[in-house]
Amino acid sequence: MFLFRAIGVFFSTVFFGSISLILSFFDATGRKQNHIAQVWARSLLRIAGVTVTIEGLERITPDGLYVVAPNHLSYFDTPVLLGSLPLQFRFMAKRGLFSIPLLGTHLARAGHIPVVLDDPRAGVRTMNAAAKTIQEKRISILVFPEGGRAPDGHLQEFKDGAAYIGIRAGATILPAVLSGTTEILRFGSGRIQSGHVTLKIGEPIDTSQMSMKDRHAVTARIREQIVQMLGDRI
């Protein structure tokens, strides 16, 4: 079964990645590529035998501009979010992912944003670029406030990136909680398991009247909501 899933994931990624690459030459906005990525993500869920329950979807306005800020447990978080959220969004990803054949090409041409982790100045430029993307392209951005996956499954300290981008863009911040993805694809493992995932959407945080001096307080509000939604699964 594991071999079947691995082969299915590989061919699905190659197939939809190729379509995305071709579309990128005809769609400078990246919107069609985002749609293909959503279809790809749903195919991965089916291949892996993963079901998803979504709570709080009514809190999302389809034409709203958001900084989606979920916890981060697994590489499988991204397919779950892509396949579940009814939004046009781009995500911020480690720069190393952009060097992976096919995947990196898709990420770059679709308008996703590479993140440099070891250069504070480059980090500020990246956050400003993300805010500009929200304002100019009228799309949302996905940011993992922890900055990376939690190796032990426990919630880590949050960085201010999501709050910074939200305030800079005047966008609404959307806290979210994923649970169950650790069991689907564990940290450091390449073995995908079937199972069930829950995605909870928190209370939107309006930043339109906020300034940069509020970013630490906003970060604390995001984390507080996520802690409450996680309950005893922290």
Per-residue pLDDT tens for 136-174? 999 999 999 998 887 777 899 999 999 999 999 999 999
Q: Which domain holds residue 137?
A: 2-233
pLDDT at 232: 62
Give residue 234's pLDDT band: very low, low, confident or very high (50, 70, 90). Answer: low
- Name the more confident of 110 and 42: 42
- The enclosing domain of 134 has a CATH number of 3.40.1130.10
**Between β-strands 89-94 and 140-142, what pairing exists: parallel, antiparallel or unpaired?**
parallel
pLDDT at 18: 87
- In contact, 70 and 140? CB cutoff 8 Å: no
What is the rounded average pLDDT for all residues in the chain?
90
Give residue 176's pLDDT band: very low, low, confident or very high (50, 70, 90). Answer: very high
C-alpha 181/C-alpha 21 separation (Å) is 28
Split into its structural domains, the chain has a count of: 1
Q: Model's pTM, two decimal places?
A: 0.91
